[in-house]
Amino acid sequence: MDDIPNNTPEYSVSDLAGALKRTLEDAFGHVRLRGEISGYRGPHSSGHVYFSIKDQNAKIDAVIWKGVFGKLKFRPEEGLEVVATGRITTFPGKSTYQIIVEAIEPAGVGALMALLEERRRKLTAEGLFDDARKRRLPYLPRVIGIITSPTGAVIRDMIHRLSDRFPRDVLLWPVRVQGEGSAEEVAAAIRGFSALPVAPKGGGAGHITRPDVLIVARGGGSLEDLWSFNEEIVIRAAAECHIPLISAVGHETDWTLLDLVADVRAPTPTAAAELAVPVRADLLHMLRDRGARLAGGILRLRDRLRRDYSALIRALPDAARLIESPQQRLDLTIAKRDGAIRSSRNSKEMALLALARRLSAQRPEARLARMAERLKGLEARLPIALANRITLARRDQLQGRTRLDALAERLRRAPKLLWQQQSDRLGKAGKLLGALGYKQVLGRGYVVVRNASNEPLRSAVLAGAESRLSLEFADGTIDVTPGAGAATEGGKAPARSARPRPGPDQGSLF
């Protein structure tokens, strides 16, 4: 088989990729592709957008270039069913084919409603629809700003209704109310009105000033026709607006996200004009009624004040009597003031004289004279002070010598005095010991009973348990045996041992 000639033309990879690219672009130069967005992650760092469009059986890559993405009025979202318009081409770097998207829109009303609900939840979470942000409309605005199409019937109906109710100055900002670029124009109009300067209180001429109330109006239509008023750019511009805003988009059954962010929602543009201004005839009638009531009240108040004034005049006392006491207090105050002035003047004169005397005494001549006299006195006192100092030094020397002799004499007598004091204390202690010792007690007839170990016994029970006892008297000691006779120093038999009993005058030894 290697010998069989092969006449198939040979392509390089680049040539084949280019040929495929040209074939696809020629065959599918302009297509509309319907499917679900998949893998959407937002713009790349380069600004281009890459994602896929799929259905239940297939998937194709999609690209939106940076310049096209910035002009899209509808932004892709993950999972949303769309219709993409563009051209089919290949990407040779990966050998894949893709669609270059030039326009994209939701596929049907269901997709728009899903997108609208998702956007509503997002903006609600940000707090743009909170009731706390709503502002009250002015009762009678001087200037009314209207954002709508200048050629439709809406503006004519609104101006006609304003003229019937209460003619006011109207500023019209013409915009497109549907189609590509309409949302940007509406948002720019809201921000433009909000950026105008506030009118001065006295009014100003020759300058366009900020309206007191703003109306965004459009007639009825389908969801696609009203979609511009659901765009996020319009909602955020309305939320940032400094002017109370009325939303009048569609008929009464229509609703948009602008209705939720506006301060007041009107069911129709004509109803918005009615909400903006009151009825002039009703206002004039109310003013006339209140003016009549005010005039009647003023007349009644005048009559009452006049009666009260007359009664007060009759109740007032004589004017001369009213000022008698204040006049007397004024005279006393004047007298006290004059006395205080004189006293203050005298005291200040005395102080001035004292200062003059002190100042004259501080003259250089006087001060030199006093210093000279003082110097003479010091010169006269110097010999006397020197003599006194010498006398005091001698006297201190004699006194010191006398004190030293006295201290020496006390030092010589101190051992004798100390010995005598210690002897006296020792004698007193001996006397106290003799008075408190038990020997003195024995002299009064008491006896100390000891056992064989020479320990004193304090009870008869202990004495009965001993085999031998020793009795100590004041003049000697004898040994006895309990229950038996004992020899004495005189040779006589002692009396029978008996239980000792204290006499009537004998106290306890212990």
Higher pLDDT, residue 164 or 19:
164
Residue 505, pLDDT above cutoff 70: no
Rounded distance between C-alpha atoms, residue 73 and residue 64, angstroms: 13
The helix (run of H) or strand (run of E) holding residue 399 is helix 364-436
Which tokens go with 398?
Answer: 């004699």
Query: pTM for the full model?
Result: 0.45
pLDDT of amino acid 387 = 84
Q: What is the CA radius of gyration of the chain?
A: 66
Least confident of 5-9, 283-287, 371-375, 456-460: 5-9
Number of Cα atoms under 13 Å in the Cβ half of residue 358: 6
pLDDT digits (tens, 9 = 90+) for 431-480: 777 777 777 777 777 888 888 888 888 887 777 778 788 888 878 888 88
pLDDT digits (tens, 9 = 90+) for 367-403: 788 888 888 888 888 888 888 888 888 888 888 888 8
Strand, coil or helix: 179: coil
- Burial status of residue 246 (CB atoms within 10 A of its CB: 0-12, 13-18, 19 or more): buried
Least confident of 55-69, 187-201, 401-415: 401-415
For residues 43 and 69, the answer to whether their CB atoms sit within 8 Å is yes
For residues 41 and 89, the answer to whether their CB atoms sit within 8 Å is no
pLDDT of amino acid 203 = 57
- Work out the mean pLDDT of the chain and round it to a whole number: 83
pLDDT of amino acid 2 = 54
Give 495's pLDDT tier (boundaries 50, 70, 90): very low
Pairing of strands 169-174, 59-64: unpaired
The pLDDT of 348-357, averaged and rounded, is: 88
Number of Cα atoms under 13 Å in the Cβ half of residue 499: 4
The pLDDT of 155-170, averaged and rounded, is: 91
pLDDT of amino acid 193 = 94
For residues 250 and 226, the answer to whether their CB atoms sit within 8 Å is yes
Percent of the chain with pLDDT over 70: 90
Give 496's pLDDT tier (boundaries 50, 70, 90): very low
Higher pLDDT, residue 17 or 67:
67
pLDDT of amino acid 321 = 72
Which tokens go with 412?
Answer: 């010589």
pLDDT digits (tens, 9 = 90+) for 241-282: 999 999 999 887 888 899 999 999 999 999 999 999 998 888
Rounded distance between C-alpha atoms, residue 25 and residue 390, angstroms: 139
pLDDT digits (tens, 9 = 90+) for 36-80: 888 888 888 888 999 999 888 888 999 999 888 888 777 788 878
Highest mean pLDDT pick, 103-112, 281-290, 316-325 = 281-290
| Domains of the chain by start residue, with CATH | 13-106 (2.40.50.140), 132-200+208-278 (3.40.50.261), 437-499 (no CATH)
pLDDT of amino acid 204 = 54
The pLDDT of 157-163, averaged and rounded, is: 92
pLDDT of amino acid 484 = 52
* DSSP annotation string for 196-264: SPPPPTT--SSS----SEEEEEE----TTTTGGGGSHHHHHHHHH-SS-EEEEES-TT---HHHHHSSE
pLDDT of amino acid 4 = 57
Rounded distance between C-alpha atoms, residue 29 and residue 87, angstroms: 5
CA dist list (Å): 445 to 234, 440, 509: 134, 10, 11
Length of the chain: 510
Residue 222, pLDDT above cutoff 70: yes
pLDDT of amino acid 233 = 92
pLDDT of amino acid 501 = 44
pLDDT of amino acid 202 = 57
pLDDT digits (tens, 9 = 90+) for 476-494: 888 888 765 443 344 344 4
Q: Residue 373 region, left (φ>0) first, then alpha (ψ -120 to 50), else beta? A: alpha
